[in-house]
Amino acid sequence: MGPEETYKQKEQKLKEYESISKQQKGNDTELAYRDMNTRFLNAEREQLETTDSKRLNAVMEAHKQQKLKIEAAWHKNTTEKMKDLKQRAPKKGSEKTAEYYAGYSMKELEVFLKNNDRGGNSDEYNAVATDLELLNRVMDSADAREGMGLLLRLKESCDNYLKSRSPFSSSGKIRKAIIAQVSIKVNAELDRQRDDYANTQKTTLAAMQEEASEEKVTTAFKAHHNLMYQVLNGNMTLTPEEMEKLDSDMEEVLDELGKQKVDADQSKTLSTKFFNALGWAGNEPRLAGNISSALKTSPHGRKLYHTINPLSIYNEDGKVVSREKDALVPTAQLAGIGGKRMYYGIGRIGKGCYTAAASDSSDQNDEAARQDSWKYGQNEGAVLMTMMLNEHARIISWMDMAKKKEDLQAKFPKVFKYLFKADPPTGSGFEDYLTMMAALYGYNTIVYNEKPGVDYLTTTDRKALTMDRDLFIRTKRDGDYDFGDLIDMKEAEDAKHGKKNGKKNEEE
């Protein structure tokens, strides 16, 4: 939800954050950002004025009514929590001063804001409350890198409120004091994170230069990746000299990363080494009993289909002599069964796990996507997997990624050139390097619309995938099927290695 994002991009990011919130238990209300945050509401208003002005008044009125319901629920649901918080209030100081709230955490300050009801909150007040709610919920589940961007949004809202208020009443002074303390904590955390990202990049580079062990190269890579993520997303500003230095330093780290070994069942490409070091290749997907019931919580909201053909068997001369009887071994690898890391093969929109999905919610296009995926598994023993994107997905369209690619080339030309040359296009129109570039911005999934009704996606972090346990296994070329079960396969693998009561990682 950066300052230069389009409404469509803000909407996609919000869906991802709403998906995180819906997975959490014990929240007092649903995430209120969509109905009460002026940053999002203003973007939506501008979008509707351009594309659907007839609906504008109705949509804004619906947000207004929802706002009143949420504010009432906030006040009601935080009453008991407020009693507990006030019982351990400081012995000195006035509740009209920011100092009074210094001992409370950000989550506790959220309770203070939600409970302080004056019969209708201002837009500026609710901007602070919803940005704080968003930060607290998202950072319970998201990657730590995402925190700085959310803190900056919260800082902006705090600044807007504090500049616009000079209260005379006691209740007004209390509200301003709470937000002043939120602002103090936010600014302190931003300073801490800026220093940490910059210092960690320098110290890990020095350690790698002294000894280029796998551990130190990996640590340096993550530190450089984290700093570049913040810069590319506009969360940190470097001088031109610092930008050039970071570009050269990351190039040096990538050069050492390229010397790393990969697993026997992984491709020997920079993408594999990149995502191994980042940790995404080792993340496991979620295995589910029925993903249809979970689709409503998905930030993408469509079933994904992935097909694997049986692997070819080669002779000593490198010629294909036969095929494996089925594709269950690579299927298990993709599902993370046995702790195996992900395979990154060639890619038209970057290396990763390729899936087909309907471009809308129609059953007709869903079946078209399923059949489109099956065409890549014509041999007997081919496996069709069904999955969806979950709350860990960070999604970008291929069109938007094309602009990010230009941005990367302008800001970090050496890194751009290195990634392009290390994993060059493997075919006409292919961009094998693209998912590495997307990862520098924090995205793990790219969506590409190639044909009417069907989208292609590539995902690089299995944690973003929820896989249906049911597998379709082709038994004849004319389309007869057998069935497999991912959760049964996982339990059998765990039993084979003596794991008792292994975690099913199952969602019913």
Residue 58: pLDDT band with limits 50, 70, 90 = very high
Q: Are 114 and 75 in contact (CB under 8 A)?
A: yes
User: Is 189 contained in some domain?
Assistant: yes
User: Is 130 contained in some domain?
Assistant: yes
Query: What pLDDT shows up at residue 324?
Result: 85
Same structural domain, 175 and 291: no
Same structural domain, 183 and 322: no
Residue 123: pLDDT band with limits 50, 70, 90 = very high
Residue 232: pLDDT band with limits 50, 70, 90 = very high
Beta bridge partners of 288: 468, 507
d(CA 491, CA 482): 20
Read off φ and ψ for residue 355, nearest 5 degrees: -135, 160
Domain final residue, candidates 167, 193, 219: 193
What is the count of structural domains for the chain?
2
Structure tokens at 366: 């869903």
Cβ contacts of residue 248 below 8 Å, gap of 6+? 414
d(CA 200, CA 33): 33
Same structural domain, 296 and 159: no
Beta-strand relationship, 312-314 and 383-389 = unpaired
User: Is 248 contained in some domain?
Assistant: no
Cα-Cα end-to-end distance for the chain: 32
User: Is 212 contained in some domain?
Assistant: no
Task: Give per-residue pLDDT as tens, 141-155.
Answer: 889 999 999 999 999
Q: Are 365 and 287 in contact (CB under 8 A)?
A: no
Report the half-sphere exposure of 18 (CA within 13 A, side-chain side).
18
Same structural domain, 189 and 274: no
Buried b (16+ CB within 10 A) or exposed e, 243-280: eeebbebbbbbbebbeebebbeebbebbbbbbbbbbeb
Same structural domain, 463 and 356: yes
The answer to which of 122-126, 136-140, 321-325 has the lowest mean pLDDT is 321-325
Q: Does pLDDT of 504 surpass 50?
A: no
93: region left, alpha or beta (phi > 0 left; psi from -120 to 50 alpha): left
Structure tokens at 192: 């801490």
| pLDDT (average), residues 422-434 | 94
Domain final residue, candidates 146, 161, 193: 193
Residue 90: pLDDT band with limits 50, 70, 90 = confident
The answer to which of 6-15, 90-99, 220-229 has the lowest mean pLDDT is 90-99
User: Is 210 contained in some domain?
Assistant: no
Same structural domain, 120 and 32: yes
User: Is 172 contained in some domain?
Assistant: yes
| pLDDT (average), residues 119-132 | 93
Same structural domain, 472 and 377: yes
Reduced 3-state DSSP string for 100-116:
HHCCCCHHHHHHHHHHC
Q: Does pLDDT of 321 surpass 80?
A: no
Task: Give per-residue pLDDT as tens, 353-401.
Answer: 999 999 999 999 999 999 999 999 988 999 999 999 999 999 999 999 9
> Over the chain, what is the mean pLDDT?
93
Residue 92: pLDDT band with limits 50, 70, 90 = confident
Cβ contacts of residue 422 below 8 Å, gap of 6+? 254, 258, 269, 270, 433
| pLDDT (average), residues 181-193 | 98
Integer CA distances (angstroms), 245 to 202, 242, 249, 250, 251, in order: 11, 5, 6, 9, 10
d(CA 14, CA 33): 8
Query: What pLDDT shows up at residue 1?
Result: 53
d(CA 132, CA 113): 9
| pLDDT (average), residues 291-316 | 91
- Neighbouring C-beta atoms of residue 96, cutoff 10 Å: 16
Query: What pLDDT shows up at residue 451?
Result: 86
Residue 313: pLDDT band with limits 50, 70, 90 = confident
Question: SS3 for 44?
Answer: helix
User: Is 166 contained in some domain?
Assistant: yes
327: region left, alpha or beta (phi > 0 left; psi from -120 to 50 alpha): alpha
Same structural domain, 276 and 407: yes
Same structural domain, 293 and 416: yes
Domain final residue, candidates 193, 218, 246: 193
Domain that holds residue 398: 270-507
Beta-strand relationship, 312-314 and 395-397 = unpaired
Q: Which amino acid is at 151?
A: L
Same structural domain, 161 and 279: no
Same structural domain, 489 and 364: yes
Element (H, E) at 445: strand 445-451
User: Is 28 contained in some domain?
Assistant: yes
Same structural domain, 306 and 434: yes
